Amino acid sequence: MSLRLRLFLVILPPLFLVSILLGLWRFAAAQQTSEELFDRSLLAGALAISRDVAISDGDALSPSTRRLISDAGGGELFYHVTGPGGYYVTGYAYPPRPVGPVARDVPVYYFADYRGEEMRVLRMIESRTIDTLSGDTVVTVWQRVSDRSAFARSLALRAAVIMAGLMTALALVVWFGVQIGLRPLNDLQAAIQRRSPDDLGPIRRPVPHEVSGIVSTLNRLLGQVQDSIGAHQAFISDAAHQLRNPAAAILALAETLPDAKNPSERARREEQLVEAARKSARLSEQLLSLERLRYDTSTSMVPFDLNTVVEDICRSFAAKALSRDIDFALSLTPEPLPLRGNPVLVGEVLINLLENALKHGGPGMTAIGVRTMGEAEAVILTVEDDGVGISADEVGTAFRRFSQLRHGEGSGLGLAIVEQVVLRHEGRIDFDPREGGTTFRLRFPRQVGEAAAGERQAS
């Protein structure tokens, strides 16, 4: 549905309803007005007849009075006059009779039936002297109710025609007025359509105040898209640079493998080729993990026990640490540590921290420890070692993508992935920079409801 049609439907129905209510009110007012006008015409006719009867002693009515009663306000007047003693003076015979007594010297209005038609009747009693007789003179004047109703309908119909004309004019004004009012939006749409896909600059076209918020929001969105594309392009460039060296190493080892005639030399080169392929696969996996964390917002979040994930990762890592004569210790809390998130990503965090300690702890590192603990509103995972450590000035560099504090193994993505995963789980990284060791303390929000459910299932 177009905006113009929507505005048309929003504006006109209330006005149409108001016009109907006004029409009903106008019809009632027309009826009341016609009643007042016709009652006054009855009174004017009665007074004129009473005056002529008094002047002519009942002989005749004046021409002006006859014209008045012949067509008073669009309806004919009937009259009947009796003089003192009740004798007939002039007018129609057998007038409509009132139901009850009629007051003297006060005009009395009532409805009555006359020859099968409903009439509005005025009866007026006055003291008069006609010829030589003195007494009460009764003037009765009546008129058809149908004439009054026809007059009221005529007034209401005229008002309805006028209101229908006004509504028609208003509908045309609204229809074409909205079209004119929406012209700046149509111009804005045309300006946006003319843009190329690479033009993500802000929209600077003047627009009405009512839609300036939409344009501002669109400009902000375009800016975010531009920043996202820039970050994506930078990531692709960095990833291509990082993948180039492992790919070149694998190619070089593969090319030299046929030249190895000695079985031991060939086995050594095959082992180097496998190790290079393993490093390249690990780098690709880390790149995909980092990119998925940046752009995949549909990562499944499920309740799980942090102790279970940590125990599984440490069981597979222990052999690697012990093979390098490094003491590896794991300390788990006896109670479950409920956490809502992605257990695979949380496990990736722990793997990256442990691999980072092995690669960058230095030759003097002798121990790596993993510990879990719970607080009232958080679960905590701590990974510490006694290696070379990271100073406070090097923290920012350590968590930056593709950056390394020292030349050596690794891609510089481990801590960047750790930071992204912790933020995705609404957690926090507490880093303790010190000489002679490194301590990472990861805090995740505790899921109290999930803990209770887990304890019930365990019991």
CATH class of 209-293: mainly alpha
CA–CA separation, 251 and 214 (whole Å)? 54
Over residues 266-298, the pLDDT tens digits come to 888 788 788 778 767 766 776 666 666 665 555
Half-sphere exposure of 336 (CA within 13 A, CB side): 20
Q: Can you give the C-alpha Rg of the chain in angstroms?
A: 51
Q: What is the pLDDT of residue 60?
A: 67
CA–CA separation, 113 and 369 (whole Å)? 113
Q: Are 90 and 58 in contact, with CB atoms under 8 Å apart?
A: yes
For the chain, domain boundaries: 3-168, 209-293, 299-458
Q: What is the pLDDT of residue 195?
A: 80
In the predicted model, what is the mean pLDDT of the chain?
78
Q: Model pTM greater than 0.85?
A: no
CATH 3.40.50.620 for the 299-458 domain, yes or no:
no
Percent of the chain past pLDDT 90, that is, above it, reads 8
Q: What is the pLDDT of residue 455?
A: 41
CA–CA separation, 166 and 23 (whole Å)? 13
Please identify every stretch of the chain with a pLDDT value under 50, giving residue numbers as ranges. 402, 405, 407, 410-411, 450-459
Spell out the residues 6+ positions from residue 130 whose beta carbon is closer than 8 angstroms to its own: 53, 54, 57, 58, 83, 84, 89, 137
Over residues 342-377, the pLDDT tens digits come to 888 888 889 888 888 887 777 888 899 999 998 888
3-state class of 26 per DSSP? helix
Q: What is the pLDDT of residue 457?
A: 43
